[in-house]
Structure 1
Amino acid sequence: MIPVIFYEKPGCVNNTKQKKRLVDFGFNVISTNLLKTNFSKNQLLDFFGKKSIKDCINPNAPIVKNKELDIENTSEDEILSLMLSNPILIKRPLIAIGSNKFCGFDLTKILDFKLKEIK
């Protein structure tokens, strides 16, 4: 089984539940602290795929919840820079399965990788 690299915020209840689901489906989950990972701009963009940067913002990040960041009037380049310097802004989890990367938990997409491996 190809390992699932799971970039998370340690202690996040939702990330813990998501990892458990993956383990229950037989995945080899490797947890990595998202907040201590230094991504380059291009590495982070690889996880976002076709999603806009604004769709990859963590809506529960303190500066978003407290309305300190005006998402609508901030450019995607500025938001990306903020994400790189303050990774709590990144929607979690970031997942890497082999060379495939994506942002957010999509169990169907992850299970597709398992099916491809079985075939």
Structure 2
Amino acid sequence: MADVVFYEKPGCRNNTKQKAWLSTSGHTVEARNLLTEPWTAGDLAAYFGDRPVTEWFNTAAPAVKAGTVDPASVTAEAALALMLADPLLIRRPLMRVGHERRVGFDPAAVRDWIGLTDEDKGDVETCPSLQTPHQCPDPAP
């Protein structure tokens, strides 16, 4: 099984479900605070690989929901600069196993990558605040 470094927003319900699923699948999860990590543009870019820039963003981030940031209209360089200034913009989780890095939690992709139990956990990636009037706790510093 894998040792997963898991960058999360502490208190995020979906990140909590994702970590539990990884653990019950036999993986060791080392949770880290995505919001306080001293990121560089190069560090972040390694997690996004060749994904389109729009897939780098947390669509539930306040700036995206308010329309202040439009992921479809920024370059890769601008996206990284925005994320360094406001880590809430970064799509979660960021996961690292060895030298490989991934963004987001698509169960099929994670299953193919490191393995997951077959139990269907439902949608563990879409933020509940996009579906209901849910409020996440304020990010811990």
| Equivalent residue letter for 1:71 | P
Report the Cα distance in structure 2 between the residues aligned to 1:67 and 1:16, rounded to whole angstroms. 27
| Equivalent residue letter for 2:17 | K
Partner of 2:118: none
Q: CA deviation at 1:106?
A: 2.5
Partner of 2:62: 62
Q: Name the structure where helix makes up a greater proportion of residues.
A: 1
TM-score, normalised relative to structure 1 = 0.88
Partner of 1:23: 23
Partner of 1:33: 33
Q: CA deviation at 1:24?
A: 0.8
Structure 1 regions of 5+ residues with no counterpart?
Answer: none
Report the Cα distance in structure 2 between the residues aligned to 1:112 and 1:102, rounded to whole angstroms. 12
Runs of 4+ in 1 over 6 A off after TM superposition: none
Structure 2 regions of 5+ residues with no counterpart?
Answer: 116-141
TM-score, normalised relative to structure 2 = 0.75
| Equivalent residue letter for 1:72 | A
**CA gap 1:111/1:71 in 2 versus in 1, 3 angstroms:** closer
> What CA RMSD, in Å, does the superposition of the two structures yield over aligned residues?
1.5
**CA gap 1:112/1:73 in 2 versus in 1, 3 angstroms:** closer
